[in-house]
Amino acid sequence: SPEKAMVCFGSMFIELPKAKTREMLRQDQEELDEEINKLRKELRVKVNRLYEAQGKPELKGFNLNPMSAEEMKLINRILEG
pLDDT digits (tens, 9 = 90+) for 1-59: 789 999 998 999 999 999 999 999 999 999 999 999 899 889 888 988 999 999 988 87
Number of domains in the chain: 1
Task: Look at residue 78 and tell me if it is in a domain.
Answer: no
pLDDT of amino acid 19: 92
Task: Look at residue 28 and tell me if it is in a domain.
Answer: yes
Which of the two residues, 19 and 63, has the higher pLDDT score?
19
46: left (phi over 0), alpha (psi -120 to 50) or beta: alpha
Task: Look at residue 75 and tell me if it is in a domain.
Answer: no
Whole domain around residue 31: which residue ranges? 4-61
Task: Look at residue 20 and tell me if it is in a domain.
Answer: yes
Alpha carbon distance 16, 20 (integer Å):
7
pLDDT of amino acid 55: 92
Among positive and negative, which fits the CA dihedral 37, 38, 42, 43?
negative
57: left (phi over 0), alpha (psi -120 to 50) or beta: beta
Task: Look at residue 8 and tell me if it is in a domain.
Answer: yes
